[in-house]
Structure 1
Amino acid sequence: MSTKHDDQAIRAHLAQCDPVLAQLLEAHDVLLVEENDREQEHYAALVRTIVGQQLSNHVVAILWGRLLERFGGRPPTPAEILADDPEELRAAVGLSGSKVSYLRSLAEQVESGAVDLEHVSELSDEEIVAELTTIRGIGEWSAHMFLMFQLGRPDVLPWGDLAICKGVEKAYGLKETPKRAALEELAERWRPHRSAACRVIWWTIDRPEG
């Protein structure tokens, strides 16, 4: 489990390597290291990621609650998703047809063993992204979220996250929203704590300084 010492060490590193982050950290009390026992199963985490794609946190919480209710108050297993009627699942939870299709694709690949979630944590970040993006409906953004919030990987840069791109544009006074190459170049200084740096950007983008 992460400690207060971890947070302080990462904070010191980011403040030293990047004056913009130093100012943001000075102005905002941002939690850089999340204490998470990560008891949620990897499959359930991916199901929730699919459910929550392109939706606000408030809406995601509602839909996730409906999904849990449909399966007895717990996340469904792959077999249960495949056994459920797709149209009934869509209507009961309030999902789009495409998301139901993505959930079934995930369930099929996990059930068949094509995607091995039991040992996924043994892979490198790059290998995990390559593995997960073979699943229909799981793109690089979803894979990056899985790395950061489910596996707690410390050096992830979700370059496809619009809030990160807009936040960097605002914080660094850029003339335009950075594309992938520009964002990766700027974030190189944050290594090996790019995940924590992104937390700073996320936390501060909609908050006034001071």
Structure 2
Amino acid sequence: MQEAITFLVEKDEVFKKLHQQYGTFYIPSRPSGFVTLCKLILEQQVSIDSAKACFIKIENLLGTISPKTISQCSEEDLKSCGVSRQKISYLKVLANAVSAELDLESFASKSADEVRNELIKLKGIGHWTIDVYLMFALQSPDIIPLGDIAVVNTIKELFDVHTKEEMEKLSENWKPFRTMATFILWHHYLEKRNRKPFA
């Protein structure tokens, strides 16, 4: 962690100023596995609080959240927990894949690209979900989620860079620690809005 911060602070004047401003940065993490992926599906395009409320209702309903319990749960019961029909289908696709051939435990020994290539095949799991899973659960060091609106808006604000192509080019300077760069950008985004860093 410190190696990554030192690298970015020495490499980029913006990160140097943010480090001077905040001192330390909150580094989020989540356990790897099925439950975290379910939570990320619920978090797509809604607030963290809304997704958390849905998850708690599902947990109260099922007791244990697993591929088996999600597969067996009726659509009506999941809908009663506040889950949209679209996300219900995504949860069930994931549950069925894990029950069949998808080995989530093997991801720990695979590259980020290998993990991405396996997860992207599943309906409802796009690059944002994969990026966050790689960063939070697998601690992949070099991820830049340019599908995340907070990251995009913060890059625009701090670097005056406005297209995805320009952002990708800019982020090349942050390799091989683009995950830490992202955490710093998120930290700044949340601090400016007086919001707690990550749930």
What is the TM-score of this pair, normalised by structure 1? 0.85
The DSSP-based 3-state class of the residue aligned with 2:23 is: coil
CA distance in 1 between counterparts of 2:23 and 2:53 reads 29
Q: Is the 8 A contact 1:32 1:196 kept in 2?
A: no
CA 1:32/1:184 → structure 2, altered by over 3 Å: closer, same or farther?
farther
Q: Which of 160, 170, 178 pairs up with 1:186? A: 170
Q: Which moved more, 1:42-51 or 1:200-209?
A: 200-209
Letter aligned with residue 97 of structure 1: R
Aligned residue for 1:151? 138
Alpha-carbon deviation of 1:41? 4.5
Q: Determine which structure has the larger helix proportion and give its number.
A: 2
What is the TM-score of this pair, normalised by structure 2? 0.90
| RMSD of aligned Cα (Å) | 1.8
CA distance in 2 between counterparts of 1:164 and 1:144 reads 12
For residues 34-87 of structure 1, what are the alpha-carbon distances to aligned partners after superposition, in whole Å with 9 as ceiling and x for unaligned? 5x5x5x351111111111111112212211211111122x4x111111111112
The DSSP-based 3-state class of the residue aligned with 2:10 is: helix
Q: Which runs of 4+ in 1 moved over 3 A?
A: 206-209
1:202 and 2:186 correspond: yes
Alpha-carbon deviation of 1:149? 0.5
CA 1:81/1:122 → structure 2, altered by over 3 Å: closer, same or farther?
same
Give the count of matched residue pairs: 193
The DSSP-based 3-state class of the residue aligned with 2:69 is: helix
Letter aligned with residue 160 of structure 1: G
Alpha-carbon deviation of 1:117? 1.1
For residues 10-41 of structure 1, what are the alpha-carbon distances to aligned partners after superposition, in whole Å with 9 as ceiling and x for unaligned? 2211111111111111112342645x5x5x35
Listed as ranges, the gaps of 5+ residues in structure 1 are 1-5
The DSSP-based 3-state class of the residue aligned with 1:118 is: helix
CA distance in 2 between counterparts of 1:173 and 1:134 reads 35
Alpha-carbon deviation of 1:207? 3.5
Aligned residue for 2:197? none
Q: Which of 52, 61, 72 pairs up with 2:43? A: 52
Alpha-carbon deviation of 1:178? 2.5
Report % sequence identity.
28
CA 1:29/1:66 → structure 2, altered by over 3 Å: closer, same or farther?
farther
Q: Is the 8 A contact 1:30 1:199 kept in 2?
A: no
Letter aligned with residue 46 of structure 1: L
